[in-house]
Structures are given as C-alpha cells and as structure tokens.
Amino acid sequence: MILVTGGAGFIGANFVLDWLALSDEPVVNLDKLTYAGNRENLASLDADARHVFVQGDIGDGELVAGLLARHQPRVVVNFAAESHVDRSIHGPEAFIMTNVVGSFRLLEAVRVYWAGLPSDTRDAFRFLHVSTDEVYGSLAPAAPAFTESNRYEPNSPYSASKAASDHLVRAYHHTYGLPVVTTNCSNNYGPYHFPEKFIPLLIVNALAGKRLPVYGDGLQVRDWLYVGDHCAAIRRAIETGRPGETYNVGGRSEKPNIDVVRTVCHLLDEWQPRRDGRSYLEQIEYVKDRPGHDRRYAIDASKLERELGWWPAETFESGIRKTIRWYLDHADWVSRVQSGAYRDWVHTNYAARAA
C-alpha cells in the first residue's frame, strides 16, 4: 500500500493512474479537492478496489495519522501543494498554509508513524517529496542548467513556500533520520492539466476564439517535461533513490514561451482549423509581464539519469502532440472544469494586463 497526497490534481492524478496501470499495489489517495483537484481525473478508478479516495487536508494531522495507522503504507508520496505563481502573487497566504504548514504537519504525522514501525519495515519506508525547479531562482541565458547543488533563490511566494517545504523535508531526514527523497521537476505538461496553466490555457483559449496572452516579450525559457516521464522518474526515485538525496527531473526541452505558443497554434491549425481559415497565430497578444517573472529555468537531470537509470521518453515535439490531441478528445472534461470560479480567476489575472 502507498499513500499519495494531492492525487486528484494534475501530476498526482497522472501518477495514480500510471501506478495502478503498472502495479497491483493499492493506493490511498488523500486530496483536499481545491479548485485544481478533480475527482473526474480519477473516474476510471471508481470501481477499482485498489484505489481508496479520501477527501482531506495534509494539514489535518489527526486525519493523516489515522490513515497511516489504518493502511500502513510503505511509501508516502507528497504531491499536495498550491502551485500557480500568479495565484501566489494575488493570494500568498494559501501557499504558506498548504506548502509550509501543511507539509510540516504531514511530516510530523509521518515521523511518528515511521518511528513506530518494526525495524525491517522502518528501513524500507520512504517519504517522496515532489518539488519544483523554481526554488533555484532564475538563470542567465548562457548559465549552466540547475543541478542539485545550486543554492535556493526563490523569487515568488509560490517558490519560496516550496523552498521552505524542501528545507523541512531535509531537516526531518538529518534530525530524525526519516528516509526522505526529494525530486525537483521542471515545467510539466500533459493530460488533466488545469487550464489556468500556460499550455492548457493556450489550447482552451485558442479553440474558444480568445486571445492567447503572452507575458512580456515571450522570451522566458522553460524546460518542458511530459507528465508521464515525470511519473516514471518518481517511481524510480521511490524504488532506488537514496534516502536524504535530491534528484532533479527535467525534459531536456528548453523552449522560449513564444515558441511554445507558436507550436500549439501550428498544430491546432493542422488538426482543428479555424472556421475562417485563418491561423490561431492571429490570436497571440503580448500583455503586461508577471511581477518578478523569472527569465529562465533549466534542469540538469544527469544525476537521476546516471544513478537511477531514468531518461525522458518524450521529446517536446512528441509530448506536445499527445497533449493537444488529449485536449481535443476530451472537450467535455475541459468544459466541466471551467467553472464560474475558474472564469473569475482568469478575469482577475488577465483582464487588467494591457496589451
């Protein structure tokens, strides 16, 4: 049995679905079901006895302790987080409460559970903490990619809260001996991605005939990682990662944002052309940049590749084709997640950004 937190969100749901497709080991899935957590992501598991879903908060220590005692997991995988930079700028407190306070309370419950295990079970236990490359800050255009030895220089309330959680995880290993493994990933994309994020927002807006907002000059660079590759890396880190270690997970696919926009437009032009015959490129609109927008992220995943034998299976070109095809084939899912609260958020974040 494994316990997954945040397993109804984008990466967490993909992980749970992949895990149960590849293994018969059951999953207890704890998710608060905030705006980005969606039970529909897990609909294919509704009749699967291997999947136990619990709605709840990682900050609820009593609930977590009860789940640990009842189900006796050998692994805890922590995806639970507030994760959108723009939302953290508008409302940082939620990020502190979930990513810092929630992580602390989860660690405390896990520490007590782990300490009470028999010695052989205790030695085999793992706490896998999923984090982000944003904790490292911003890279100059020609600087080497982030390695695990880069110092932390977070520049947004989101990345600062994730950095704090990473430090807590590290401290619980060095102080208490808790067998933790941390992964810091680059920008994910793929199925079930909530459409406030860059790539699904582009797809959804393009098909709806809306503008495609590009922050600043559009030359911010990100390393794009297909979510299925990320899930495979986490599975490797669970099984063979060394306690106390951090592993960077990247897609080896650095792209300026504007190139990503153009790629999405070209593929949509090919697969679902506009009725007027014109290109989706005409919907691109440059808007006011995000405050404190990091210029470049890039991940050096050579440690993970060398020590654990992981390598991304998808290039950006193959992964983005799979992603767009999924959104075209799941228009009903997209429609249902675009609630009134989602529309209010999009208006709040983008309406005031002058072209």
Catalytic residues: 133-134, 158
Handedness of CA 223, 229, 233, 235 (dihedral sign): positive
Helical H segments across 129-223, by residue range? 157-176, 198-207
- Residue 177 class from Cβ within 10 Å (0-12 exposed, 13-18 middle, 19+ buried)? middle
Residue indicated by tokens 């939302």:
87
CA dist 93 and 227 (Å) reads 28
- Those residues with Cβ within 8 angstroms of residue 224's Cβ, 6 or more apart along the chain or in another chain: 186, 187, 189, 251, 253, 254, 255, 260, 316, 319, 320
- Could you tell me the two tokens for 199? 């790539």
Angle of the 103-115 helix axis to the 61-71 helix axis, nearest 10: 40
How many C-beta neighbours within 10 Å does residue 262 have?
Answer: 18
CA 125 to chain centre: 23
Give the Cα separation of 43 and 50 in Å (integer): 13
* Structure-token match 């705006």, residue found: 35
* 269 close to 284: Cβ distance less than 8 angstroms: no
DSSP per-residue codes, 22-64: H----EEEEE---TT--GGGGGGGTT-TTEEEEE--TT-HHHH
Cα angle at 146 between 94 and 58, to 5 degrees?
25
The alpha helices in 50-144, defined as continuous H runs, are: 61-71, 85-90, 93-95, 103-115, 119-124
- Contact yes or no for 58/103 (Cβ under 8 A): yes
